[in-house]
Amino acid sequence: MKIVMLGAPGAGKGTQAKKIAEKYQLPHISTGDIFRANIKNGTELGQKAKTYMDQGLLVPDELVVDLVVDRLKQEDCKNGYILDGFPRTIPQAEALDAALKAIDEKMDYAINVEVPDENIINRMSGRRACVSCGATYHLQFNPTKTEGVCDACGSELILRDDDKAETVKKRLDVYHDQTQPLIDYYKNAGILVDVDGTVDMNDVFNAIVQILGE
């Protein structure tokens, strides 16, 4: 099963992708996580990506596409995967489709997690990310047992630089301009499914399981 997660920044793509990955035993491939790991490790790719991420802009397609296409060739992807945060532009989606077509494959589902803009600022200002394992929480909607400490690994939690209100506004503009057109792209491909992302995260997941099957 090959799945693309769509939705605004903060809609809950990562939250749901992790749950899907666990239930269906598929690798969760998040381009945002890959860039953040590269930034943490001080790689050249990380340094380049950071200049765009800090401004709320998309990293250029040429820095993203080959990275993902190479990742999909790895052994753990042979039974499928969940793409979270990729594609984010029409050229990225076209490059993905072309790479799949070359090996006679195609995406199965594009799950669009719908959350209106007015909910997004709160979602993102309350998001806390683990500096070490990348787990995400929310101060209000998914709090940790001890404030500021990751439940999974005990490391410190931070507010991502790009989750500060001024950057979130820019990221939403970029989303509407460059990423939202993918909804029609996948609708035309006949694989789009919409889920209401405003309800409790477990209910969002139940709706996704209804679509994907038990």
Give the Cα-Cα-Cα angle 92, 95, 99 (nearest 5 degrees): 140
Compute the distance between CA of residue 65 and CA of residue 70 in angstroms, rounded to an integer: 9
Order of strands across the sheet that contains 28-30:
28-30, 81-84, 2-6, 109-114, 192-196
Identify what 137 binds: ligand ADP, ligand AMP, none; CB under 5 to 8 Å per kind: ligand ADP
- Could you say whether residue 87 binds ligand ADP (CB under 6 A)? no
Active site residue 88: yes
Q: Do 119 and 8 contact (CB within 8 A), yes or no?
A: no
Compute the distance between CA of residue 33 and CA of residue 51 in angstroms, rounded to an integer: 16
Active site residue 160: yes
- Helix (DSSP H) and strand (DSSP E) numbers for the chain: 9, 8
Least Å distance, CB 200 to ligand AMP, is 21
CB atoms within 10 A of CB 56: 20
- Could you say whether residue 10 binds ligand ADP (CB under 6 A)? yes
Q: Which of 125, 132, 136, 155 binds ligand ADP (CB under 6 A)?
A: 136
Least Å distance, CB 75 to ligand ADP, is 26
Q: Which of 2, 13, 19, 28 binds ligand ADP (CB under 6 A)?
A: 13
Q: Which of 56, 123, 135, 150 binds ligand ADP (CB under 6 A)?
A: 123
% helix, strand, coil for the chain, step of 5: 50, 15, 35
Identify what 24 binds: ligand AMP, ligand ADP, none; CB under 5 to 8 Å per kind: none
Both structure tokens of 188:
């035309």
**Chain positions contacting ligand AMP, by CB under 6 A:** 9, 31-32, 35, 52-53, 57-59, 64, 85-86, 88, 92, 162, 171
Least Å distance, CB 210 to ligand AMP, is 25
Identify what 127 binds: ligand ADP, ligand AMP, none; CB under 5 to 8 Å per kind: ligand ADP
Active site residue 123: no
Compute the distance between CA of residue 181 and CA of residue 186 in angstroms, rounded to an integer: 9
Q: Which residues are catalytic?
A: 13, 88, 127, 160, 171
